[in-house]
Amino acid sequence: MKGESIETSVQDEADIAALEESIESLKRFPKIQFEIVGHTDHYECEWNMCSDLALRRVRLVCKMVLDSGIDPWRIIALREYSFNRPIASGHENYRKNQRVELNLMEDP
């Protein structure tokens, strides 16, 4: 099933490299907390299946982050927005909506 591993969840090797770069940046700033947010689009799934897929993506990225040595207390939320927050429109750009974001939280 799509989204069962990092390799099947990302578009290409550049996406994995970008995630690894983000993790390295988090390691350089050990006090920053963040949330992991998953998104889908209506081209790859339907209704509640989109929520499930977005959540699987979040869990996979969370596992990768934790396996890299990031302290769990730094992750303040795991969220999924399904297809409700697109960043691109049109069939030619739909893959941009299939994403996971690491959103940094402001210092208190």
- The pLDDT tens digits for 9-63 are 566 788 889 899 999 999 999 999 999 999 998 888 888 899 999 999 999 999 9
Domain CATH for 83: 3.30.1330.60
Q: Is residue 88 part of a domain?
A: yes
Q: Is residue 68 part of a domain?
A: yes
Global pTM? Answer: 0.84
Structural domain containing residue 22: 6-104
How far the first Cα of the chain sits from its last, in Å, is: 40
Q: How many CB atoms lie within 10 A of CB 32?
A: 14
Q: Which of 46, 44, 103, 54 is nearest to 76 (CA)?
A: 103
- The pLDDT tens digits for 69-78 are 999 999 999 9
Q: Is residue 1 part of a domain?
A: no
| Nearest-angstrom CA–CA distance, 6 and 15 | 10
Q: Is residue 44 part of a domain?
A: yes
Q: How many domains does the chain have?
A: 1
